[in-house]
């Protein structure tokens, strides 16, 4: 029987529990080309578009915050920009399928008119279509909200995970709402989500990065949890939990990887060295799963781990 959380654990407590399992998986860096000297990171999991496997990735100069999202295809072990694919002025891409329709999104960032390096605000933008080539914008989230993710349930309704900031004394919380159709994905519906109050300590934060409808109707959430130490040094960990939409209950967070499980490499800044940003998870029939991640805001990696959602389906 699925256990439900009643009290948040700190990142350090979760890390200690995870390391006691002695994880042995080792990640690998994905090779991207065709973007000049820019970095590709915070990638999505691969998905099929017109019969071809595609990855969406954040493309950015090392010393800037202004990004593009591009679509990549693999050619002899190297991921190259897909010919003719659209390019979006977004960060941190994600996707899902609602019915037969592709729903794609990312974070639109707004900069100060007098200082192109100073971010004034941001919001999540949603597109829909039947392929990458015909994506059209259709919805947006509230200002300063990232990590809005959708999932189609067995009953046809659409679950919406949200991430309001500075709410009820917390830096950020995850919320959940339901809508009947994509036409109902409005700022009001997103802002009205019911909060999951016992996932993060008030001084820590996190969010949903991808959702998986499980065989028993629960929703498996792939996300991140983070904390900040002195000098604004950030620590981000990939995590999962299960959500029961009828009962509004959710399992304790479990970490599924750490920075030490991936090859050494550069970081965008020194405060981002210990950052793993969950991009997406591909579940396999042999009980494993491939986790696709951004690493240190500079690279994209993949790691094969035990499927973390299997335990929620028992």
Tens-digit pLDDT profile for residues 294-312: 999 999 999 999 999 999 9
Task: Write out the two tokens for 211.
Answer: 């959702």
Q: How far apart are CA 93 and CA 70, in angstroms?
A: 9
pTM: 0.96
**Do 175 and 194 contact (CB within 8 A), yes or no?**
yes
Q: Helix, strand, or coil here: 245?
A: coil
Q: What is the DSSP string of 65-87?
A: --EEEEEEEEETTEEEEPTT---
Where are the domains positioned within the chain?
Answer: 11-313
Q: How far apart are CA 297 and CA 291, in angstroms?
A: 16
Q: How far apart are CA 151 and CA 104, in angstroms?
A: 12
Q: What is the pLDDT of residue 293?
A: 98
Class of domain 11-313: mainly beta
Q: Helix, strand, or coil here: 241?
A: strand
Q: How far apart are CA 45 and CA 196, in angstroms?
A: 25
Q: Helix, strand, or coil here: 3?
A: coil
**Do 185 and 179 contact (CB within 8 A), yes or no?**
yes
Residues of the chain with pLDDT under 50: none
Q: What is the pLDDT of residue 116?
A: 80
- Contacts for 222 with CB less than 8 Å, ≥ 6 apart: 208, 209, 210, 211, 212, 238, 239, 240, 278, 280, 281, 291
Q: What is the DSSP string of 165-227?
A: EEETTEEE-EEEEEESSGGG--HHHHHTPEEETTSS-TT-EEEEEEEEE-TTS-EEEEEEEEE
Q: What is the pLDDT of residue 169?
A: 87
Q: What is the pLDDT of residue 1?
A: 55
CB atoms inside a 10 Å sphere around CB 228 = 16
Task: Write out the two tokens for 51.
Answer: 């019969």
Q: What is the pLDDT of residue 4?
A: 81
**Do 169 and 136 contact (CB within 8 A), yes or no?**
no
**Do 119 and 166 contact (CB within 8 A), yes or no?**
no
């Amino acid at each position: 029987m699925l256990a439900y959380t009643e009290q948040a654990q700190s990142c350090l407590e979760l890390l200690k529990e995870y390391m006691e399992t002695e994880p042995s998986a080792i990640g690998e860096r994905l090779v991207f080309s065709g973007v000049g000297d820019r970095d590709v990171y915070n990638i999505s999991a691969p998905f099929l578009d017109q019969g071809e496997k595609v990855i969406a990735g954040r493309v950015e100069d090392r010393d800037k915050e202004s990004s593009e999202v591009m679509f990549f295809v693999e050619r002899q072990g190297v991921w190259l920009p897909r010919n003719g694919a659209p390019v979006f002025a977004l960060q941190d891409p994600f996707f899902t399928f609602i019915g037969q329709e592709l729903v794609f999104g990312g974070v639109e960032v707004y900069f100060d008119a007098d200082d192109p390096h100073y971010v004034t605000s941001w919001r999540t933008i949603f597109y829909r279509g039947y392929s990458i080539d015909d994506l059209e914008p259709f919805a947006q989230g509230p200002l300063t909200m990232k990590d809005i993710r959708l999932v189609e349930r067995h009953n046809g309704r659409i679950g919406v995970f949200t991430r309001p900031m500075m709410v009820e004394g917390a830096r950020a919380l995850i919320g959940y709402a339901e809508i009947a159709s994509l036409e109902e994905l409005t700022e009001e519906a997103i802002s009205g989500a019911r909060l999951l109050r016992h996932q993060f300590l008030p001084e820590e934060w996190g969010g949903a990065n991808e959702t998986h409808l499980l065989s028993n109707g629960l929703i498996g959430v792939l996300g991140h949890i983070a904390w900040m130490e002195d000098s604004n040094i950030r620590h981000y960990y990939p995590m999962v939990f299960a959500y029961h939409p009828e009962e509004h209950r959710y399992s304790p967070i479990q970490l599924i990887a750490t920075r030490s499980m991936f090859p050494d490499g550069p970081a965008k800044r020194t405060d981002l060295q210990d950052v793993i940003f969950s991009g997406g998870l591909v579940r396999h029939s042999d009980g494993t799963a491939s986790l696709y991640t951004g690493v240190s805001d500079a690279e994209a990696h993949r790691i094969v781990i035990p499927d973390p959602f299997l335990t929620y389906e028992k």
